[in-house]
Structure 1
Amino acid sequence: MWRTWLLFDPRRALVALFAFLAVLALLIHFILLSTERFNWMHSASLVDTTEQVAVQETGKSTLA
């Protein structure tokens, strides 16, 4: 294993690894946000809208 680090500079390799993982994480999150099932931002706004409609109709909040 130590011979591998003779081929690659450890600092550059780790910076490249972390940059790749950060880009991959952002890509996965944006892909999930673009789907209907896993878009947590859209579903949160639906809950707020449903709660507002329920309060307007009944005058009471359904949230504890």
Structure 2
Amino acid sequence: QEVLDIEATQIDPPPPLGANVDTSFILGLGKVKDEVKILLDVDKVLSAAELSELEQSLQG
């Protein structure tokens, strides 16, 4: 759980993972020191149906 400022020059586009792998939620790969961070589009990580299902399961 951290928030980082990553310069645009340190962000690469997501790599192709194959035709059957959905990568639409990956914004890119950020290079921070000696690590690579996967940058996610939080609006695309879960679909509306998945969010609804998660909310229902949390409510019991």
Quick check: which one's helix share is greater?
1
| TM-score (norm. length: structure 1) | 0.27
| TM-score (norm. length: structure 2) | 0.28
Q: Highest relative contact order (Cα 8 Å, sep 6+), 1 or 2? A: 2
Decide which structure has the larger Cα Rg and report it: 1
Quick check: which one's strand share is greater?
2
